[in-house]
């Protein structure tokens, strides 16, 4: 039997064990509570921070560059286009962290990249040490170089798609076309003016990556596709532009001139068919070749090189402005054809002696003769008959002193002297083309009103905005219609003046002698340049120019050519610019292959082919004929099932549209569309609509089609499609 003492000892031991267990339990509960609190702190307080850090480490954000829209001429020829290239960027924090953990010298990384990309190690290090978190290392590299960089497996170095702008014709249309910066944004010209249309909207791809920044194939990713930019179709005709470039270069070289400019327009629509200035630059390399241009520093020289002189430079026009003075006097009825003007070689006007270019004088002349002889005293007399109020009224009505509204950046307005500031001598000099300054585009816009019968039409260089749909079809989004600002002149007076211009252009008054067989009206000009150094007009610096139209009765083309500071001894517009105008007209007439001699010439309008599919033959014929198109029908059915060219295509007025009805041979054949990138469902629906069948292999979107796009196949043909997920590309 246990003693009382033994029992008491047993109870104490048991009590101590219980206390220890209780203490341990309390400690465990306390630890668990602390863990719960810590977990709660991590989840609810620091959760977003840790999530962001994890996302940064294991997710990669890649901006998907939108493809910049193309720029095309009026006939669909590419003038500017974009191609896929690649760029290399740094994530500096990731790069340096990895280098530290792996004990890699950053200089070794820089050397590896430098060797691969044909750079120096110092160039790479400078970018790494720039202080930027995500600096760009290089852009515009080809795929082979991009693959080499990827093969280096450097954590913190990202290779992604990029877009490079190409101008396949080099210097062609340079100042008007403009260029883009390294980010693909418009810098100057059309690229700047229409940047909102061309640029598109970038997309974003977020994907999972491993420690070497390789994409993890089974990790879902988020993808917001880019929206590509729209195409801009110009009024420019590629061939006429080529002629203008050639003539401008010839004017520059043969006259050893400072510059030369050429503009060709359709006066009835305001469309600019060609615009060339020399010297120029290559938009592919917009920062090269500026040394020879004027400027006190590099930036000024670059701006001078980029400047579009036709739009942005104002000058005193000289005798080409005399057509403005003459039409104003004719409209106001202060002069008639048989009025006479006596030129003795000089005239005292407001106490100042002004000489005619012919110091011997022209003698007694009629109104058409003072234009043909370009007689300064004769035009001073016209200015006097008009008076400063009326002369200025017509100058402003015809658009001088204000912007024309041409869709190009940097338009200058020139200087028109206020009516109240015009002195007696100013009235005379303004009348023959001095004192006021104008831009070439202003002068052409006013001259176009004389050519088209009196309408002041806003000049424009863009014809339409379009895009290509998923089926490869061109869809026109916006058409730039001619904008008539106002009617400023009468058909009667402008027709008479065009007749005077024809006499001015011809030799001995014989029609068609300027360019043999063609009725052309023209006026030359020789502008003295103002020299600030001497405080007056230079007797050695001139701008030789000519403005012209054809055919005289119903003009369809207007031309302006100027040569700035010719230095070979010849400087009159008739000596320098007239031969260039003749040569340009010959080129244009040969290209058009439509004789102007009988005034039958007409620049065919561009027509957007309307969609007549589903209509019966009678309805389709009426719609197409109403749009100035001709028709050829295949098949004996009544319902139109297909068209060639496709609806939305731009063709010339009078073009033949081939229609196919049910039952025709064409109805039994179809063209295989481009299916790459389409979803399984979209591809199937598209092929079924065309009467084709298909099979699929794989998962994802269409990656490959066994029958290439554009192939003509029989209806019912089988198209085999291979699918891939984008992460597998």
Listed in sequence order, the residues at least 6 apart from 446 whose beta carbon sits closer than 8 Å to its beta carbon are 324, 398, 399, 400, 456
By the 8 A CB rule, do 113 and 149 touch? yes
Concerning whether 319 is annotated as a catalytic residue, the answer is yes
Task: Check: CB of residue 514 under 8 Å from CB of residue 507.
Answer: yes
Taking CB atoms within 8 Å and a gap of at least 24, the contacts of 338-346 are 338/366, 338/367, 339/366, 339/367, 340/364, 340/365, 340/366, 341/365, 341/366, 341/367, 341/370, 341/375, 341/377, 341/378, 341/381, 343/370, 343/373, 343/375, 343/377, 343/378, 344/377, 346/377
Q: How far apart are CA 238 and CA 255, in angstroms?
A: 26
Residue among 202, 226, 217, 204 nearest 60 (CA): 204
What DSSP string describes 165-232? EE-TTTTTTHHHH--B-TTS-B-SHHHHHTHHHHH-B-EEEEEEB-TT-PBPTTS--EEE--BPPPEE
Tell me the longest C-alpha to C-alpha distance in the chain. Answer: 164
- Distance CA(386)–CA(318), nearest Å, equals 19
* Alpha carbons 671 and 639: distance in angstroms, whole number: 19
Helix (H) or strand (E) holding 650: strand 650-652
Instruction: Give CA–CA dist 695/570, Å, rounded.
Output: 75
CA geometry: angle 416, 449, 553, nearest 5 deg:
145
Between strands 640-644 and 669-671, the pairing is: unpaired
Element (H, E) at 62: strand 59-64
Q: Secondary structure of 92-110 in the HEC alphabet?
A: HHHHHHHHHHCCCCHHHHH
d(CA 375, CA 322): 9
- Torsion on CA atoms 534, 537, 538, 544, rounded to nearest 10: 160
CB atoms within 10 A of CB 637: 16
**Residue whose token pair is 């005293």:** 377
Rounded Cα–Cα distance for residues 408 and 478 (Å)? 18
Tokens 């028109």 — which residue? 416
User: Residue 574: which H helix or E strand, with range?
Assistant: helix 573-592
Residue 583 token pair = 């040569």
CA-to-CA dists, residue 681 to 471, 554, 672, 728, angstroms? 14, 56, 17, 20
Catalytic residue among 179, 319, 374, 660: 319
* Dihedral angle computed from the Cα positions of residues 241, 246, 252 and 255, in that order, rounded to the nearest 10 degrees: -130
Pick the closest to residue 320 from 568, 559, 583 (CA basis). Answer: 559
- Give the separation between CA 116 and CA 149, rounded to whole angstroms: 7
Assess contact for 447 and 322: CB atoms under 8 A. Answer: no
Q: What would the two tokens of residue 619 be?
A: 């309805």
Q: Which residues are catalytic?
A: 319
């Amino acid at each position: 039997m246990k003693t009382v003492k033994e029992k008491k000892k047993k109870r104490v031991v048991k009590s101590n064990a219980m206390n220890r267990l209780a203490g341990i339990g309390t400690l465990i509960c306390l630890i668990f509570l602390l863990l719960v609190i810590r977990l709660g702190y991590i989840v609810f307080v620091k959760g977003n921070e840790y999530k962001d850090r994890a996302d940064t480490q294991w997710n990669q954000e890649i901006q998907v560059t939108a493809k910049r829209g193309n720029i095309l001429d009026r006939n669909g020829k590419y003038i500017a286009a974009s191609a896929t290239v690649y760029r290399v960027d740094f994530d500096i924090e990731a790069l340096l962290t990895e280098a530290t953990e792996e004990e890699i010298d950053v200089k070794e990384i820089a050397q590896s990249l430098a060797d691969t990309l044909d750079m120096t190690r110092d160039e790479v290090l400078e970018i790494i040490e720039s202080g930027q978190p995500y600096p760009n290392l290089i852009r515009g590299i080809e795929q082979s170089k991009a693959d080499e960089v990827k093969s280096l497996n450097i954590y913190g170095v990202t290779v992604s798609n990029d877009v490079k702008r190409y101008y396949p014709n080099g210097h062609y249309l340079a100042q008007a076309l403009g260029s883009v910066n390294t980010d693909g944004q418009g810098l100057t010209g059309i690229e700047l003016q229409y940047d909102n249309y061309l640029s598109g909207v970038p997309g974003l791809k977020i994907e999972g990556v491993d420690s070497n920044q390789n994409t993890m194939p089974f990790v879902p990713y988020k993808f917001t596709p880019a929206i590509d930019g729209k195409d801009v179709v110009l009024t420019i005709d590629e061939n006429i532009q080529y002629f203008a470039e050639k003539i401008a270069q010839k004017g520059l070289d043969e006259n050893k001139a400072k510059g030369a400019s050429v503009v060709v327009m359709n006066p009835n629509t305001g469309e600019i068919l060609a615009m060339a200035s020399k010297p120029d630059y290559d938009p592919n390399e917009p920062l090269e070749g500026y040394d020879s241009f004027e400027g006190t520093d590099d930036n000024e020289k670059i701006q001078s090189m980029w400047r579009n002189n036709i739009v942005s430079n104002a000058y005193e026009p000289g005798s080409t402005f005399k057509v403005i003075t003459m039409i104003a006097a004719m409209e106001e009825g202060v002069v008639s054809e048989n009025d006479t003007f006596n030129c003795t070689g000089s005239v005292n006007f407001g106490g100042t002696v002004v000489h005619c270019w012919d110091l011997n004088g022209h003698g007694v002349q009629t109104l058409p003769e003072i234009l043909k002889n370009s007689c300064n005293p004769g035009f001073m007399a016209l200015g006097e008959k008009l008076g400063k109020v009326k002369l200025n009224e017509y100058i402003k009505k015809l658009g001088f002193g204000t912007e024309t509204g041409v869709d190009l950046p940097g338009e200058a307005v020139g200087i028109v002297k206020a009516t109240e500031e015009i002195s007696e001598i100013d009235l005379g000099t303004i009348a023959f083309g001095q004192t006021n300054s104008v831009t070439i585009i202003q002068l052409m816009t006013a001259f176009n009103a004389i050519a088209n019968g009196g309408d002041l039409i806003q000049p424009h260089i863009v014809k339409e905005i379009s895009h290509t749909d998923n089926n490869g079809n061109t869809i026109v989004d916006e058409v730039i219609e001619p904008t008539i600002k106002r009617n400023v002149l009468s058909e009667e007076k402008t027709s008479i003046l065009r007749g005077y211009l024809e006499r001015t252009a011809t030799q001995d008054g014989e029609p068609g002698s300027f360019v043999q067989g063609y009725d052309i009206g023209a006026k030359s000009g020789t502008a003295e340049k103002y020299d600030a150094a001497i405080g007056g007009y230079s007797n050695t610096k001139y701008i030789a120019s000519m403005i012209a139209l054809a055919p005289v009765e119903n003009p369809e083309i207007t031309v302006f050519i100027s040569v700035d500071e010719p230095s070979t001894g010849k400087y009159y517009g008739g000596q320098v610019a007239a031969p260039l105008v003749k040569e340009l007209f010959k080129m244009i007439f040969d290209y058009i292959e439509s004789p102007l001699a009988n005034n039958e010439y007409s620049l065919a309008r561009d027509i957007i082919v309307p969609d007549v599919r589903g209509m019966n033959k009678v309805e389709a014929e009426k719609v197409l004929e109403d749009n100035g198109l001709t028709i050829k029908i295949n098949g004996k059915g009544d319902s139109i099932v297909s068209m060639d060219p496709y609806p939305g295509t731009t063709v010339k007025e009078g073009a033949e549209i081939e229609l196919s009805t049910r039952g025709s041979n064409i109805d039994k054949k179809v063209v295989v569309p481009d299916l790459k990138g389409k979803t399984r469902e979209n591809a199937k629906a598209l092929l079924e609509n065309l009467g084709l069948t298909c099979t699929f292999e794989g998962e994802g979107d269409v990656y490959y089609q066994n029958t290439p796009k554009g192939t003509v196949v029989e209806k019912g043909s089988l198209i085999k499609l291979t699918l891939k997920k984008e992460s597998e590309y």
